[in-house]
């Protein structure tokens, strides 16, 4: 789709890791998260960090690709024509000329990203936490991370 900076996806994925480094730092929410999740220093040392961060980056890139559909409304117009602008009727080009950059700001993307955190991440994390017998602190720490992260990712995806 025109008006899309494809560098926004890897940048948004990296941003997810950066927010995580800050959010789960022991001086921020790291210690509270470890207690709420049942994580120990011993368990932390037992993981293959290359695999963990590599997969986290891949998952963040997948999430950024999906989040772009939520933050950039122009994808709706692209989907209505089957994804190929070369086969679209002339009205598509006129529409995109008029509205191709509408609502494409960092603020708009952050707004949609934050609400994706509340309305997508919270129900998923909350449901898992209920069955895992985790408390409210666990839910709020992890949902808070995703709400902030998706807001940052949305801002990048929509504003670039």
CA distance 139 to 157: 26
- 144 to 18, 26, 47: CA distances (angstroms): 15, 16, 24
Q: Record the tokens describing residue 159, joined without a space.
A: 């504003």
pLDDT tens string 83-128: 888 899 999 889 988 888 888 899 999 999 999 999 999 999 999 9
Q: What percent of the chain has pLDDT over 90?
A: 74
Does position 145 have pLDDT exceeding 70, yes or no? yes
Structural contact between residues 153 and 64, judged by C-beta atoms closer than 8 angstroms: yes
Structural contact between residues 157 and 28, judged by C-beta atoms closer than 8 angstroms: no
CA distance 110 to 38: 31
Structural contact between residues 63 and 16, judged by C-beta atoms closer than 8 angstroms: yes
Give this prediction's pTM. 0.90
Structural contact between residues 112 and 71, judged by C-beta atoms closer than 8 angstroms: yes
C-beta neighbour count of 32 within 10 angstroms? 15
Average pLDDT over residues 134-143: 98
Q: What percent of the chain has pLDDT over 70?
A: 98
Angle made by CA atoms 69, 72, 73, in degrees to the nearest 5:
90
Does position 55 have pLDDT exceeding 80, yes or no? yes
- 151 to 2, 40, 49, 63: CA distances (angstroms): 23, 29, 26, 12
């Amino acid at each position: 789709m025109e008006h899309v900076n494809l560098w926004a996806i890897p940048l948004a994925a990296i941003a997810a890791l950066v927010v995580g480094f800050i959010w789960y730092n022991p001086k921020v929410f790291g210690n509270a998260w470890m207690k709420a999740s049942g994580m120990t220093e011993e368990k932390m040392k037992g993981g293959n960090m290359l695999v963990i961060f590599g997969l986290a980056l891949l998952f963040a890139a997948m999430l950024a690709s999906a989040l772009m559909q939520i933050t950039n409304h122009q994808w709706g117009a692209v989907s209505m024509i089957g994804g190929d602008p070369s086969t679209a009727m002339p009205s598509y080009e006129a529409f995109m000329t008029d509205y191709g950059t509408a609502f494409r700001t960092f603020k708009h993307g952050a707004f949609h990203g934050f609400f994706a955190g509340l309305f997508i991440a919270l129900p998923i994390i909350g449901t898992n936490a209920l069955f895992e017998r985790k408390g409210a602190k666990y839910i709020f720490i992890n949902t808070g991370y995703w709400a902030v992260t998706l807001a940052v990712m949305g801002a990048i995806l929509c504003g670039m």
